[in-house]
Amino acid sequence: MLRRPRRNRKSTVIREMVEETRLSVKDFIFPVFLIEGVNQKIPVASMPGIYRYSLDLLLEEVESCLKLGIKAFDIFPAYPEDKKDKWATESYQPDTFYLKAIHKIKSTFPEACVMTDVAMDPYSSDGHDGLVQNGKILNDETLEILGKMALAQARAGADILGPSDMMDGRVGYIRQVLDEHDFTEVSIMSYTAKYASAFYGPFRDALDSAPKMGDKKSYQMDPANYREALIEADLDAEEGADFLMVKPALAYLDVIRLLNDNYNLPIAAYNVSGEYAMIKAADEKGWLDGERAMLESLLSIKRAGANVILSYFAKEFALLSK
């Protein structure tokens, strides 16, 4: 035999030399949950190791991540029911705790990159990402609300806005609002191909943001569809997105590859709450080695073509790579 692929697997040194994909702490954005109050650190039952923090403790968490090399954070707020209404009005009140927290985190740690979420669900009494009328999700009326929310987040100091709502035209609409107010430097990471997925369950527990009625299938994509991701990506690229995101990650590695092959924009993938929960649950039961399963999953996301990975594993990965 002239060719023996096993020669390149014979030692750790050679295996590492020929490694095609390498993860780095620089690849990650760490999604974190914020609640109102002081000295609060409440575990998310379906996400072992993940907590909802009040701002004072979140600042400590951010500091410890920065020391480990995790420099980017996607911050999600959990609002009590009495702050929610049909129009997500709370989302753009300048003194709301989420916006004040963004400002505080940026002023305390200017080197941190802060991403925010643009969608109505945490503030909506209907639990939907858009405005609900007679059981329907209104598209263009939602854009106006998203525009106000995006502008408020830019004013609070966000570096990257993440529209996760899947309304048509929102990237262009938000870009225009930002530019009209001289926020030309604020980036947009669009949730380009966001699927109507079962894997968001634990996240909705963390935020108490599950839809009160119906599901999200009239705006999030059908898991059966692949080519349709190209339509969404075309629009987002034309409308000025700086990053294209695929979400969830593991069940959609083919879509990550598709967008990487067809667009020159950086590709992000969101390793979502359910993907995290599955590995944690199996690890707790002793059914698999959670650490190895985590590393293999994260590697597969990068190998599929994601330059940026949003993952609840970010800090654990950073601790391991110390």
| Between 50 and 237, CB nearer to ligand PBG | 50
**Amino acid letter, residue 265:** L
| Between 119 and 318, CB nearer to ligand PBG | 119
CB of 268 vs ligand PBG, minimal distance in Å: 13
Question: Mutual orientation of helices 97-108 and 55-68 as an angle, nearest 10°?
Answer: 40
List the helix and strand counts (H, then E) for the chain: 11, 12
Nearest to 322 by CA among 67, 58, 113: 67
**Amino acid letter, residue 40:** Q
CA 226 to CA 258: how far, in whole Å? 8
CA 92 to CA 18: how far, in whole Å? 50
| Between 98 and 203, CB nearer to ligand PBG | 203
- Strands 136-138 and 131-133, by their bridges, are antiparallel
CA 117 to CA 153: how far, in whole Å? 9
- Residues 6+ positions from 221 with CB-CB distance below 8 Å: 166, 193, 194, 195, 196, 228, 229, 232
> 134 with 86: CB under 8 angstroms?
no
> 274 with 198: CB under 8 angstroms?
yes
| Between 22 and 98, CB nearer to ligand PBG | 98
CB of 318 vs ligand PBG, minimal distance in Å: 18
Nearest to 73 by CA among 160, 178, 203, 200: 160
CA 49 to CA 316: how far, in whole Å? 9
Taking the CA atoms of residue 251, residue 244, residue 141 and residue 176 in that order, the dihedral angle to the nearest 10 degrees is 170
CB of 275 vs ligand PBG, minimal distance in Å: 8
DSSP of 212-226:
SSS-STTTSBPTT-S
CB of 245 vs ligand PBG, minimal distance in Å: 10
CB of 10 vs ligand PBG, minimal distance in Å: 40
| Between 117 and 262, CB nearer to ligand PBG | 117
| Between 146 and 186, CB nearer to ligand PBG | 146
Q: Which residues carry out catalysis?
A: 194, 247
Q: Residue 150 CB: number of other CB atoms within 10 A?
A: 28
The secondary structure element, H or E, covering residue 229 is: helix 228-238
CB of 9 vs ligand PBG, minimal distance in Å: 35
Per CB under 6 A, residues contacting ligand PBG are: 117, 119, 121, 129, 164-165, 200, 203-204, 216, 272-273
| Beta-ladder partners of 159 | none
CB of 4 vs ligand PBG, minimal distance in Å: 43
| Between 30 and 203, CB nearer to ligand PBG | 203
